[in-house]
Chain A
């Protein structure tokens, strides 16, 4: 089993993500430079957080043209696992691998804080170690996390169970107050219809060790490991 962490100019969570996978969870992990044309036979691609190309035009708007993204599109079409965290989520939206777009946070502020998110669907490669209704405490750090999609698309996401995480109270209650950035339907994490691609605004790699205040983020990485181990047995 091998993980690949994509590195763009401006990525800043690449080493954190690498560290959690490689050192904390003891998984073989490689960096994938965005100019490469080769995914090095990884089983799961992670697009980490940061500010790819400075995000000057729009978050993720330039990163989508990187050569490696063409490989990632092919990888995705064959069911390869892709996890986009924060800027990685924004890039997946710009690429069209996930539906919708991100607007600026409703209060126009960069939000850097712990939030609670409720797990809505545990039938995915990214959440199979969790329970539906389980509340995770994971930090966010973003300016553009206000999820938007046309009404018809939102209905489709609901119908297909593609909304994987929603901003909630500590109790798990979904309220407007818990919706820190103004996302439609409190969306914090979203999968494609096939379920092999997940985008998530909170940073699980920053919540994978008790010393950092939360280990809740490990569920996502451990689910991927579990999924890939099970797949290998078949």
Chain B
């Protein structure tokens, strides 16, 4: 579409602080075993990179959090942050 370039966005989904993250805990324990005892906590999450085409930046700013909330994360246990990369 004319005037609308491709938009790249990155979304990071991670567990809320109140939710135990068994994977993060296991990674932390592994790091301790390897001698990195100063690592106090590890939280593991997911990264999504979306490429959007045919919509404006303004529309993208509305759509990205919508997709993140509705599909990519479960608001009961997860939170998300997002940014437009280019």
Instruction: Indicate whether A114 reaches chain B with its CB closer than 8 angstroms.
Output: no
Interface size class of A (residues with CB under 8 A): 10 to 19
B23 touching A108 by the CB < 8 A rule? yes
B79 to chain A, nearest CB (A): 13
* Residues of B close to A104: CB separation below 8 A: 22-23
Q: Within the complex, which residue of A101, A107, A146 is in contact with B74, where a contact is CB–CB below 8 Å?
A: A101
- In the complex the two chains form, is A148's CB within 8 Å of B72's CB? no
Q: Are A61 and B76 in contact (CB under 8 A)?
A: no
In the complex, are the beta carbons of B74 and A61 less than 8 A apart? yes
B20 A103 Cβ-Cβ under 8 A? yes
Is B18's CB under 8 angstroms from A58's CB? Answer: no
Q: Could you tell me which residues of chain B, from 11 to 38, have a CB within 8 Å of some CB in chain A? A: 18-20, 22-23, 26
Interface residues on B, range: 10 to 19
Query: Smallest Cβ distance from B46 to chain A, in angstroms?
Result: 9
User: Would A94 and B74 count as touching, CB distance under 8 A?
Assistant: yes
Distance from B83 Cβ to chain A, minimum over Cβ atoms (Å):
20
> Cα distance A68–B71 when bound, in Å?
18
| A100 at the binding interface (Cβ < 8 Å) | yes
Q: In the bound complex, what is the Cα–Cα distance between A48 and B18 (angstroms)?
A: 30
B47 sits at the interface (CB 8 A): no
Question: Closest A-chain residue to B74, C-beta based?
Answer: A101
- Is A106 close to B, CB under 8 A? yes
Can you list 24 pairs linking A and B with CB atoms under 8 Å apart? A57-B72, A58-B74, A61-B71, A61-B74, A65-B71, A93-B76, A94-B74, A101-B74, A101-B76, A103-B20, A103-B22, A104-B22, A104-B23, A106-B22, A107-B22, A108-B22, A108-B23, A108-B26, A146-B22, A148-B20, A148-B77, A150-B18, A182-B20, A182-B22
